[in-house]
Amino acid sequence: MGDSKASRKITVGILTSGGDCPGMNAAYRAVARVSMAKGYSVVAFRWGYKGLVESDALSVSYLDVADILQRGGTVLGSARCEEFTTEEGICSAMDSLKSWEIDYLVVIGGDGSLKGALRLARRGAKIIGIPKTIDNDVPELDNAIGFDSAVNTIVDSLTKLRDTASSHHRAFIIETMGRKSGWLALASGVAGGADVILIPEVPVDYPVLAQEVERRLRAWGAYVLIVVAEGAAKGDDVRTVLESLLKKPVDMRVTVLGHVQRGGSPSAFDRILASRLGYEAVNLIERGEYGVYIGLANNAIRSFPLERLEGEEREIDMELYEISKLLK
Ligand code: F6P
């Protein structure tokens, strides 16, 4: 019995979970290709934890992961799965790992999805997490997969909105994603030269904001770009409050970037990061290590115990925020 187990090929399971973002396919491809190069079998679950709970999976071939490096979204699909939060759902997920003979499961997901993976790890599943999220709120990491691409998308939008704002002497309020974290608004605001950046981590001081808008619009041809993270305030609410505070009417427009930020082809940075992380996940498997998530921390690929996700949340870079105030 021991011998047949030892001679059996290692099977690596993969799933993508949580909100999609650019670079998930690049990570899937990297895990699959490096696994195949090492002679392992690869099984992918469709629709995230839903596929795991329902045992909906495919045996992955080389061609299944061809031509996906450059594609946004996730070809494996992602879905919310209430069942996975129940005892019954977790048991079904464990059964499905067993029936597909999965030795290691690589979960490509955000903070919430990786916490879900921890529940499986506590039942004995051998898990490796590859973090992706445009919110960039994974503890310990510099950049999660998808963040750089989303920042580039927002910066591109800011460049376009600057053209129209300057042509019409207007104030633009641009709402970005980021429910709990201001990373996306801060990084894209700095890179896109926003005049004001509003983030959930710093309460909005509306009277000061109104004065700032008035001061900026005084000059001929002036305009204002205000970037606001959805977690700080809704763009429409910022506009309503400003309208009530401004001494003279100001021509204001609100642009909600919405899910556009989650789509598109991954940046070169995200493709490289996803490839490195896929490679590292398989290296860990080769060494028999698991129960961790991996990522770029202080510019090196490192691993952290999944339990770390239950600890303190990732804080925003307040130094960058302070710098942004001096640049405006
Ligand atoms: O967590 C990533 C994120 O993109 C958030 O920034 C955003 O608030 C949320 O997902 C949107 O989720 P949904 O696609 O379910 O509307």
Can you give the pLDDT at residue 220?
78
The model's pLDDT over 87-125, given as tens digits with 9 standing for 90+, comes to 999 999 999 999 999 999 999 999 999 999 999 999 999
- pTM, rounded to two decimals: 0.95
Q: State the pLDDT confidence band at 7, using cuts at 50, 70 and 90.
A: low
For residue 75, how far is its CA from the centre of ligand 1 (angstroms)?
A: 18
For residue 296, how far is its CA from the centre of ligand 1 (angstroms)?
A: 22
pLDDT at 327 over 80: yes
Binding site membership of 178 for ligand 1 (Cβ less than 6 Å): yes
Q: 188 with 155: CB under 8 angstroms?
A: yes
**What rounded mean pLDDT belongs to the chain?**
96
Mean pLDDT along residues 41-62: 98
Binding site membership of 132 for ligand 1 (Cβ less than 6 Å): no
For residue 178, how far is its CA from the centre of ligand 1 (angstroms)?
A: 7
Taking the C-alpha atoms of residue 124 and residue 308, their distance in angstroms, rounded to an integer, is 18
pLDDT at 308 over 60: yes
The model's pLDDT over 250-307, given as tens digits with 9 standing for 90+, comes to 999 999 999 999 999 999 999 999 999 999 999 999 999 999 999 999 999 999 999 9
Pocket-testing residue among 135, 153, 259, 313, ligand 1, by greatest number of atoms within 8 A of Cβ? 135
Binding site membership of 150 for ligand 1 (Cβ less than 6 Å): no
Mean pLDDT along residues 28-42: 98
Atom of ligand 1 nearest to the CA of 112: 1
The model's pLDDT over 179-231, given as tens digits with 9 standing for 90+, comes to 999 999 999 999 999 999 999 999 999 999 999 999 999 887 799 999 999 99
Q: 44 with 13: CB under 8 angstroms?
A: yes
Q: Could you give the residue numbers annotated as active site?
A: 135
Binding site membership of 258 for ligand 1 (Cβ less than 6 Å): no
Domains of the chain, earliest start first:
5-146+266-310 (3.40.50.450), 149-261 (3.40.50.460)
Characterize the bridge pairing of strands 196-198 and 224-229: parallel
Q: 174 with 238: CB under 8 angstroms?
A: no
How does DSSP assign 17-41, residue by residue? -SS--TTHHHHHHHHHHHHHHTT-E
For residue 273, how far is its CA from the centre of ligand 1 (angstroms)?
A: 22
Does residue 43 sit in helix, strand or coil?
A: strand
Can you give the pLDDT at residue 134?
98
Binding site membership of 209 for ligand 1 (Cβ less than 6 Å): no
Can you give the pLDDT at residue 2?
41
Using CA atoms in the order 308, 311, 317, 318, what is the torsion angle rounded to 10 degrees? -160
| DSSP state, residue 247 | S
The model's pLDDT over 135-159, given as tens digits with 9 standing for 90+, comes to 999 999 999 999 999 999 999 999 9
What residues contact 106, with CB distance under 8 A and at least 6 apart? 12, 13, 14, 15, 31, 127, 128, 129, 130, 281
For residue 8, how far is its CA from the centre of ligand 1 (angstroms)?
A: 41
pLDDT at 3 over 70: no
Taking the C-alpha atoms of residue 152 and residue 114, their distance in angstroms, rounded to an integer, is 25
Mean pLDDT along residues 9-23: 97
